[in-house]
Amino acid sequence: MSMKELGVVGRNVGQRDLESHARGQTTYYEDVHYPRMLHLKMHRSAEPHARIVSVDTSAAEASPGVVCVLTHEDLPGKKVWNGLAAVGVGPEDEPILAFDKVRWRGEPIVAVLGESAEAARAGAAKVEVDYDPLPGVFDVEEAISGSLPALTAHWPNNHYIYPDDHGAAQIRFGDVEQGFAEADHIVEDSYQTSPIEQAPMETNGCIAKPGGDGRITVHTNTQAVHFARDNTAAILGIAPGKLRFLGGTVGGGFGGKVDVAVEPISVLAAMRTGRPVKFKYTREEEMQVSSTRSAWRLNIKDGVMDDGRIVARKITSYQDSGAYLRFSSYGSMKHAGHMPGPYTIPNVWVDARVVFTNRPPSSAMRGFGVMAASFAIELQMDKVAKTIGMDPWQLRLLNAYRNGDMRAHRKVNEDAAMVETIQAAAQLAGHELPAEYQAMTSWDRKAS
Partner 1 sequence: MEDKLIRLAVNGRDEAVVIQPLATLQDVLRDKLELNAVKSGCGQGGCGSCSVLVDGELQLSCLTLAERVGDAEVTTLEGLNETNAIVPLQQAFIENYAAQCGYCTAGMVMAAKALLDRNPAPSRDEIVEGLSGNLCRCTGFAPIVRAVQQAAQALSDTGEEAS
Partner 2 sequence: MPELLRPGSIDEAADLIARHGAAAAVLAGGTSLMRETYPSDGGYLIGVDRLGLDRVVARDGGWSVGAAVSLSVLREAVPIAALQAATREIGGPAVQNMATVGGNLFARAPFGDLAPALLALGAQLVFATADGETTQPIEDFYAGWADGAPPSTGLLTRIELDAPSGDCAYLKCARRRYSTPSVVTVAASVQKDGGTVTDARIALSGAHAQPTRCAAAEQAVIGSSLDEAAIAAAASATEGAVEPRTDAVASDWYRRRMTGVFVGRALAALA
Residues that bind partner 1 (CB under 8 A): 12, 15, 17-28, 30-31, 33, 116, 199-203, 249-254, 282-283
Query: Contact between 118 and partner 2 (CB under 8 A)?
Result: yes
Instruction: Indicate which single residue of 87, 201, 239, 435 sits in contact with ligand FES (rule: CB under 6 A).
Output: 201
Q: What Rg, from alpha-carbon coordinates, does the chain have?
A: 26
Coil, helix or strand at residue 169: strand
Q: Measured from the CB of residue 64, what is the shortest distance to partner 2 in angstroms?
A: 9
For ligand FES, the closer of residues 201 and 429 by Cβ is 201
Q: Measured from the CB of residue 122, what is the shortest distance to partner 2 in angstroms?
A: 4
Picked from ligand FES, partner 1, partner 2, none, the partner binding residue 77 (CB below 5 to 8 A depending on kind) is none
- Residue 14's CB: how many other CB atoms inside 10 A? 8
Q: How far apart are CA 50 and CA 425, in angstroms?
A: 52
Q: Measured from the CB of residue 169, what is the shortest distance to partner 2 in angstroms?
A: 34
Angle 120-124-129 (CA atoms, 0-180°, nearest 5)? 165
Picked from ligand FES, partner 2, partner 1, none, the partner binding residue 125 (CB below 5 to 8 A depending on kind) is partner 2
Instruction: Indicate which single residue of 248, 252, 337, 404 sits in contact with ligand FES (rule: CB under 6 A).
Output: 252
Picked from ligand FES, partner 1, partner 2, none, the partner binding residue 121 (CB below 5 to 8 A depending on kind) is partner 2
Q: Measured from the CB of residue 366, what is the shortest distance to partner 1 in angstroms?
A: 11
Note the Cα 348 to chain centre separation in Å.
26
44 to 73: interface string for partner 2, x by CB under 8 A: ------------------------------
For ligand FES, the closer of residues 26 and 413 by Cβ is 26
Cβ–Cβ < 8 Å for 43, 63: no
- Residue 153's CB: how many other CB atoms inside 10 A? 8
Pick the closest to residue 353 from 371, 329, 337 (CA basis): 329
For partner 1, the closer of residues 20 and 58 by Cβ is 20
Cβ–Cβ < 8 Å for 206, 220: yes
For ligand FES, the closer of residues 87 and 201 by Cβ is 201
Cβ–Cβ < 8 Å for 127, 42: no
Instruction: Indicate which single residue of 28, 61, 74, 121 sits in contact with partner 2 (rule: CB under 8 A).
Output: 121
Q: How far apart are CA 67 and CA 59, in angstroms?
A: 12
For partner 1, the closer of residues 102 and 250 by Cβ is 250
Q: Measured from the CB of residue 313, what is the shortest distance to partner 1 in angstroms?
A: 35
Q: Measured from the CB of residue 328, what is the shortest distance to partner 1 in angstroms?
A: 24
The dihedral built from the CA positions of residue 111, 112, 117 and 123, taken in this order, carries a sign that is: negative
Q: How far apart are CA 447 and CA 439, in angstroms?
A: 9
Residues 324, 326, 332, 338: what is their CA dihedral angle, to the nearest 10 degrees? -150
Picked from partner 2, ligand FES, partner 1, none, the partner binding residue 122 (CB below 5 to 8 A depending on kind) is partner 2
Query: Contact between 195 and ligand FES (CB under 6 A)?
Result: no
Query: Contact between 122 and partner 2 (CB under 8 A)?
Result: yes
For partner 2, the closer of residues 287 and 417 by Cβ is 287
Q: How far apart are CA 287 and CA 290, in angstroms?
A: 6
Pick the closest to residue 113 from 265, 236, 217 (CA basis): 265
Q: Is 138 exposed, middle or buried (0-12, 13-18, 19+ CB in 10 A)?
A: middle
Cβ–Cβ < 8 Å for 114, 39: yes
For ligand FES, the closer of residues 93 and 286 by Cβ is 286
Q: How far apart are CA 416 and CA 338, in angstroms?
A: 14
For partner 1, the closer of residues 221 and 380 by Cβ is 221
The dihedral built from the CA positions of residue 87, 93, 98 and 102, taken in this order, carries a sign that is: negative
Q: How far apart are CA 307 and CA 184, in angstroms?
A: 9
Q: Measured from the CB of residue 383, what is the shortest distance to partner 1 in angstroms?
A: 31
Query: Contact between 125 and partner 2 (CB under 8 A)?
Result: yes
Q: How far apart are CA 329 and CA 88, in angstroms?
A: 12
For partner 2, the closer of residues 6 and 125 by Cβ is 125
For ligand FES, the closer of residues 3 and 22 by Cβ is 22
Longest dimension (CA), the chain: 80
For ligand FES, the closer of residues 28 and 99 by Cβ is 28
Could you tell me which stretch among 118-126, 234-242, 302-310, 404-412 binds partner 2 (CB under 8 A)? 118-126
Query: Contact between 90 and ligand FES (CB under 6 A)?
Result: no
Write out the binding residues for partner 2, residues 150-209 only, by CB under 8 A.
Answer: none
Number of amino acids touching partner 2 (CB under 8 A): 4
Pairing assessment for the beta strands 50-56 and 101-102 based on DSSP bridges: antiparallel
Query: Contact between 167 and ligand FES (CB under 6 A)?
Result: no
Orientation of helix 328-337 relative to helix 370-388, angle to 10°? 40
Which residues contribute to the site for partner 2 (CB under 8 A)? 118, 121-122, 125
Which residues contribute to the site for ligand FES (CB under 6 A)? 201, 252
